Amino acid sequence: MPAQRLTRDQALDRITEVFRRWGYDGATLRMLSEATGLGRASLYHHFPGGKEEMAHAVFAHIGGRVQRHVIDPLSGAGTPRERLERHARGVSRVFDGGKSNCLWGAMVLGGGIELFADEIETALTAWIRAVAAVLRDAGVAPREATRRAEAAMVRVQGALVVSRGLASTAHFQRVIKGLPSALLGEV
Amino acid sequence: MPAQRLTRDQALDRITEVFRRWGYDGATLRMLSEATGLGRASLYHHFPGGKEEMAHAVFAHIGGRVQRHVIDPLSGAGTPRERLERHARGVSRVFDGGKSNCLWGAMVLGGGIELFADEIETALTAWIRAVAAVLRDAGVAPREATRRAEAAMVRVQGALVVSRGLASTAHFQRVIKGLPSALLGEV
DNA sequence: GTCTATACGTGGATAGAC
DNA sequence: GTCTATCCACGTATAGAC
């Protein structure tokens, strides 16, 4: 939609990056304008609700990516372990090997938790549920499956924060590597 | 220093809460003024460098609290397990049972990572080192001790993000409860 | 569908009276 | 040491030409 240069999806990619990097409060229309190559006024043409609408659109946009790379791999063919390994690779990819923040985390701690609490909660819950389902397939009791899936989410989110705080993606990489085993209770 | 009403330490307590809750970008002088009961101009009397200087002061302020509640308990008397349990209680206290954000996390994801990268890295590292030292006392090999201490930090940070995102402190509580055992490798 | 121009509030910051 | 008044840049948002 934005110019001939960028499709709406491409523009949302750029917008997403800005929100991920700067959080809701930190992101400005200037940044969003530069990132997309659209004037500020043009942004309002595509997103009449302004910054808030852009953020909502970004949640939907991200939702698709997460579905493809994180959730779908869990329900394909293969043993639970194989599916979890595909999943782990997808998680790594979604966060660019630990170089990119989590949009949800950025929103949680970077303003916008009030505006987007529902979207964040829904997204986190869907992810956790999908992981727990695979663990049940692997014979893990339901409560324990949910508990482990939540623990995995905790570790992924924490790894992203610590990787940023210590300026090294090593912590993220380590968590990703151990994800399938940890979920399967092999530690 | 601020009025007869608040000591400097009390004022910094309030200022700290604002930065923890809103991050650096999200915190405004208005909020800081209301939180302390000082006019905006008065804030500049105490912190001539403005918002940035306040944030630096908050790092120092928090450093003291962390030392008292998180680090010191690690080096007191008792078995490693007892010390880690005191430590875990201190961690819980510092984050108000999971109700309060981590200042460092808020800065990492809420703007200010550029301005305060060094302070954040130093603080995280000191915490990790102190925990690793106790594990070495418990007979854990140095590398493994550091690895576990880092993993614990990852879990604490992640638990705070997830607790906020899912609007429940349960995840934080669970991590705190399992902290000593996880560090001692009993899982 | 994009632009320039602009409005208006807020954010950070300062001057100077008290 | 605190206040009122004020400054200026930037933030979000809109009007209207092209």
Give nucleotides in strand C with any atom < 7 A to a protein C-beta.
1-6, 10-16
What confidence tens digit (pLDDT) does each residue in B138-174 have? 999 999 999 999 999 999 999 999 999 999 999 999 9
Q: Shortest Cα distance from B68 to chain A (angstroms)?
A: 22
Q: Are A135 and A148 in contact (CB under 8 A)?
A: yes
* Domains of chain A and any CATH numbers: 8-183 (1.10.357.10)
- How much is the pLDDT for A4? 55
Q: What are the tokens at B134? A: 């106790």
Q: What dihedral do alpha carbons B15, B64, A171, B98 form, nearest 10°?
A: -60
DSSP string computed for A15-73: HHHHHHHHHHHH--HHHHHHHHT--HHHHHHH-TTHHHHHHHHHHHHHHHHHIIIIIGG
A25: Cβ contacts below 8 Å, ≥ 6 apart:
A110, A111, A112, B22, B23, B25, B26, B110, B111
Q: Do B125 and A153 touch (CB under 8 A)?
A: no
- How many whole angstroms separate alpha carbon A185 and alpha carbon B12? 44
Residues in chain B with pLDDT < 70? 1-4
Strand D proximal to A27 Cβ, under 7 A: yes
**What is the pTM assigned to this prediction?**
0.97
CA distance B72 to B176: 17
pLDDT in tens, A118-156: 999 999 999 999 999 999 999 999 999 999 999 999 999
Tokens matching residue B66: 């962390």
Torsion sign across C-alpha atoms B111, B112, B118, B121? negative
Tell me what pLDDT residue A1 has: 58
Cα distance between residue A140 and residue A54, in whole Å: 40
What is the residue whose two structure tokens read 């968590």? A175
pLDDT (tens digit, 9 = 90+) per residue, A31-87? Answer: 999 999 999 999 999 999 999 999 999 999 999 999 999 999 999 899 999 999 999
Predicted confidence at residue B187, as pLDDT, reads 73
Closest residue in A to B25 (Cα–Cα): A26
In this predicted structure, what is the pLDDT of residue B131?
98
CB-CB under 8 Å, A124 with B109? no
State pLDDT tens for residues A63-78. Answer: 999 999 999 999 989 9
pLDDT of residue B90: 98
pLDDT exceeds 70 at position A3 = no
